[in-house]
Structure formats: C-alpha cells, structure tokens
Amino acid sequence: GDKSGLELFKKITGRTIPEWIKSTEKQKKLCGYISLESLFQISPELGTNILLKEGLLEDMMDCVEFESEEIQLAIADILSIACSHKNCRALVTVHCQKYLSSLMTSKNNKLKTTAAVALTKIMLDEKSSGTPGDEKQNTGGKVRIIDEDEALLSNLFENIVLNDGNDVDLKISAIEGLAYSSLKPTVKEMITYHPTLLKEIFELVQKVKANNNTLFYGVAVMLSNITTYKKRLSETEEQYLKLKKMAGEASNLELDPVDDDEYVVNRGKQVMNLGVIRALTSMSKNNSETIRQVIAKVFLNLSTDQNNRGAIVQQGGVKLLIPLATKGSREVMMYATQALAKIAITMDPRLAFRGERAADLVRPLLILCQGESELCQFEALMALTNLGSVDDDIRMRIYNAKGIPIIESLQFSDNVMVRRASTECLCNMMFCEPVYEMYSEVENSAANKIKILLALSDVEDFETRRASSGALAILSTSPNVCKMIVERPRGIDLLKDLMSEQSIEIQHRCVEIIKNMTKVNKEMVEILIKAKVPEKLTEFVRECKIESVVSVAIEALQEISKYSSSSKK
C-alpha cells in the first residue's frame, strides 16, 4: 500500500542523499543538494529528518568556503528553506550562521540574497523567541546589532527587487526575504511608503505564472503583515504588561506604536491606492490553500476599514471573494466570508452583489453565524438583514438553507449586540411567506415563538424592542397571532406599556398591533375593552403629534366602537 511505499521512499532518500552529499565528486554532491532541496519542498518533514541526521550539517560546513559557487548556492538554498522550519533553524543557527554572514560580502548576488533570506529568518526567530526570563540579557548589545543587520538586509532585498538587471528568480528570493522582515514594524512602514518597490512587486506578480508559489506566498505574507491589526490583549495580558513596566522590564507583549490601528489604516489606504486588489486577483488563481488563506486574510484586513469597501467592490474584489467564501478550507471560507459580511453591512447590496452573488453568500454567512466569535455572528446577521431587505429571493434562500433556527438560536446569546442583530434579522424575515406561517400557524410551535418576541419587546435595549415589536406588528395581521398575544399573562399590559414609550417608532408598531386585534372578532374586542385599551388609545390620540400614527389609533377606536355600539342595542 501507500504507507509501505512511503516508508521505502523515506529509507532510500535517507540513505542515498547523505551519501551523495558526502561524495568527493562534484556532480554527485550537487545532485545530493538539489535532491534535498526538492525533498524539502515536497515534504518538510522528510527534508528535516535528513538534514538533522548526525553530523550532516557539520560535514556540509566543513571547508564549505572552498566549494564551487554552484555548490555553495545549492547549500545556501537548502539552509534558507531549512530556516523556515523551527527544528532546523536552531541547528542552522549554531553551525551555519557564521558562514551565512560571510556570504554577505560575496560578489555573487544570488548567493548573497539567499544567505540574507536565511539570516532574516534566523534573526526574527532570535527576536521573537525571548522566553519570559531572558529579556534582561536581550537588552544588551545583541538586539541592537540585530536591528542594524535587519536594516541592512531589508535594504539589500529592496535594491535587488528594484535593479532591472536582476533575473526574476533572484528578485523572488529577495521578496521572500522582505516577507519575513516585514514582521518588523519599521520594515512594514518602509515597504508601504516605497511606491516604486511595491509597484515593482505587483508587476512581478502579474508577469509570472499562476503556480509560482514562492513568489505568491511571499507577497501575500508581506501584505498580510502590512495590513494586520494588532491582537487586542486580554485583561490578564494587560495586567502582566503593567507589572513588567513597573519592574522596569521589557516584555514581548509590548507592541510598537507603528502597529496601532491608525498606522494600519493608513498602510491599508496606501496599498489600496497602489493597486493591491489587482495583485490579489492574479494571486488568487493559485490553488495552494495556504496562499488562498493568506489572501483571504488580507481582504479581511483591508475591508476592516469602511473607507476601503467601495474601492474593493469597484475593483472586482467581491467577484474574487465569493469563490474563496464558498469552497476551500474552513479558515479560507471564514476570512473571506467575514470580509464579505463587512462589505454587505455598509454597502447597498444591489450595487455590491450583482446577479447571483448575494444568493451565493447566504450559506457562508449562516456558517459564520454558527462560529464561536460573537463579532462574526453579529456581522453575519447584519449582512443577512441587509441582503434580505432588498430581495425576496434572498429571504427565501435563507429560509431554504435552514437559516431560521440558526438565527433564532442567537436570540439567546449573552451578547446584547448579537441578540439585537438576530431579532432585526428575524423581523426582516417575516416578509417571507413560509416564515410568517411558521410564526402564525397554531399547530406549529408558534405560541412559543410569539412568547419570545413579546419578551424581547420588553428588554432594555431599544433596537431589540423596536425589532421584536416590528415583527409582532407584521404578524398581527394573523388572527392566530393576536390570540397568542392576549393569551400571554402580560400580553396586553405589555402593549399598553409600549404605547407609553418615548419612541414614535415603537408606539406606531404597538397601535398597529392593537388595530389588527380590533378586526379579529367580538371576543377579542371585549378583552381589549376589559383591559381599558380604548381609554389608553384616546389618551394617545390626544397627545400624539404624528398624523400617520394617530390615524391608525383612530381606526382602532372606530373598530372598537362598532362592537360596543352594537352590543348596547
């Protein structure tokens, strides 16, 4: 089977590649290095196993400076790839950092760049892996030297990308180096505000084939680093930071001011102006899930700033995001759907989602509603409300995708914003025939649904009250619903309370419900009279200044008087 084949492959490569590398014949040696590099690309795990074999790295470094440039290049390539993997990085740092640094003075640009990429990965690791106890040692000379070296390295990469004489592969290596260095706040700023550099990188993306994973991954990571907002610290982390500061110690939780939101917003604007969407469009044709995930994350970062959303739509971003949101790994779908939700909240859906696009978005948004994040739930609900408000087909699509129970379950969220958004979404869904029936037909669990809407019309949050009383106003055209309301112990009292609200919107919904009740039958009117609703209505008509709402209340009073006058005869 496959497994035994893989074991055999592992065994053969594990024996042959080190043999070739240790050979004294140049061709064999080269063959060994090239095979090891390919192996790393197919399976980093297998590559790592060979590189970490007893004594292999020492053998490679033995007299390395006397090897031909061709072999040194092959070695530098392997070291650079190996430095992307944690286990290898530690060993490369011990055995090869000195050699890699010596290559920085090489006349061969390719050799110099490859070594620089490896060194960048090593340095970033040294910066970020500070364990809590060792910041003290770190604040000495070491960090400062690294900072200077980092500046040198990123300048080197920048010059290589900008020099037209360099071949594409060399530029791609330099871009990989920049992608790693762009984790550093200063480098983020340097890249962003260097329009010629970014334009050159974006042009390269347009030129190469869609399967150039090294370039696309490098550019995507760089853009992600430039546009990512900093993680909000938890309360515990905030406390830890305060204690550290009081003790006069540095902490790796402490963030550079250049990572504050306003800087990130400005960097986003800048890359938008330089045509980032076009570059992302070219890159999204790639079928690597990793690259697609980073691209979706960049879109989410860019759409976080409301001012970018219009441009994202105009430049074809939605067309590109829909496939990312509808197929692929969970992470890709989540990022892309969040970006689309943000766009759907603030833009006219008819402009942003032409044709079938709005319909394609329903299922991903419902998946987002079922995720853990309350922010995602909130945004997905708002997006569904906005999409559904302009199109009956979308409401039907939400219903058919079993969306109602998903939306209803969020009415019980601990988060007031999520409760509000789910209630607003449901209110909107009442215009959908089958949903109206679910809430009004006696044999369904409708009574319980009405009970929940009544309870939500009595909560502290104004928008939730407005949405739930709005849903009840639409549903009250059904006599069944009117009966369900009066059968609730506080049903009528609640309506009287709503009539005394400060908000004309809520008063309007309330008198609408009462007017519909007066048209049900004599029993219903008698219940209203017994509860002194006519007196409340008369008082309301006297005090309310809004003509359209007064006329609804008057209509209700006229209906009541028909019954009361006929009962007197």
For residue 205, is it within any domain? no
Using alpha carbons, select from 48, 110, 109 the residue that is nearest to residue 84.
48
Domain span at 485: 460-569
For residue 218, is it within any domain? no
pTM: 0.81
Q: Residue 250: what pLDDT?
A: 63
Owner of token pair 């800087």: 263
Q: Residue 232: what pLDDT?
A: 72
355, two tokens: 């044709």
What phi and psi, each to the nearest 5 degrees, are found at residue 448? -70, -35
241, two tokens: 């930071």
The answer to whether the beta carbons of residues 116 and 151 sit under 8 Å apart is no
Q: Structurally, how many domains does the chain consist of?
A: 2
**How far does Cα 169 stand from its chain's mean position?**
32
Q: Residue 359: what pLDDT?
A: 87
Distance CA 348, CA 366 (A): 20
For the CA atoms of the chain, what is the radius of gyration?
33
Distance CA 369, CA 422 (A): 10
The answer to whether the beta carbons of residues 388 and 407 sit under 8 Å apart is no
Could you tell me the CA-to-CA distances from 419 to 341, 342, 377 in Å, in that order? Answer: 18, 18, 10
Q: Residue 251: what pLDDT?
A: 59
Distance CA 341, CA 195 (A): 30
- Name residue 437's amino acid: E
**291-305: burial string, b at 16+ Cβ within 10 Å, e else:** bbbbbbbbbbbbbbb
Distance CA 468, CA 492 (A): 15
Owner of token pair 């033995």: 62
25, two tokens: 């014949």
Using alpha carbons, select from 517, 520, 551 the residue that is nearest to residue 533.
517
DSSP collapsed to 3 states, 242-303: HHHHHCCCCCCCCCCHHHCHHHHHHHHHHHHHCCHHHHHHHHCCCCCHHHHHHHHHHHHHHH
DSSP collapsed to 3 states, 548-564: HHHHHHHHHHHHHHHHH
For residue 37, is it within any domain? yes
For residue 153, is it within any domain? yes
The answer to whether the beta carbons of residues 172 and 205 sit under 8 Å apart is no
For residue 73, is it within any domain? yes
CATH number at residue 539: 1.25.10.10
For residue 63, is it within any domain? yes
Q: Please give the chain's pLDDT, 569 residues, in tens.
A: 677 887 888 888 888 888 888 888 889 989 999 999 988 888 888 888 888 887 888 888 888 888 888 999 999 999 999 988 888 888 888 888 889 989 888 888 889 989 988 988 888 766 554 433 343 333 333 333 456 667 778 888 888 888 877 788 889 889 988 998 888 888 888 889 989 999 999 999 988 877 788 899 999 999 999 999 987 766 777 777 777 777 776 655 556 777 788 889 999 999 999 999 999 999 988 888 899 999 999 999 999 999 999 999 999 899 999 999 988 888 999 999 999 999 999 888 888 888 778 888 999 999 999 988 899 999 999 999 999 988 888 999 999 999 999 999 999 999 999 999 999 999 999 999 999 999 988 766 888 888 899 899 888 888 998 999 999 999 999 998 888 888 888 887 887 887 777 788 888 888 888 889 888 888 888 888 887 878 888 887 887 777 887 778 788 788 778 876 555 44
What phi and psi, each to the nearest 5 degrees, are found at residue 415? -95, 125
Q: Residue 217: what pLDDT?
A: 93
For residue 309, is it within any domain? no
Could you tell me the CA-to-CA distances from 538 to 500, 535, 560 in Å, in that order? Answer: 12, 5, 12
Distance CA 284, CA 165 (A): 28
For residue 175, is it within any domain? yes
Distance CA 371, CA 375 (A): 10
Distance CA 83, CA 86 (A): 7
- Name residue 514's amino acid: I
Could you tell me the CA-to-CA distances from 25 to 14, 16, 160, 343, 408 in Å, in that order? Answer: 19, 14, 33, 61, 72
The answer to whether the beta carbons of residues 306 and 267 sit under 8 Å apart is no
565, two tokens: 């006058």
Residues 6+ apart with CB under 8 A from 323: 284
Long-range pairs, 163-170, Cβ under 8 A, ≥24 = 166/109, 168/204, 168/207, 168/208, 169/110, 170/109, 170/110, 170/113
User: Looking at residue 191, what DSSP letter applies?
Assistant: H
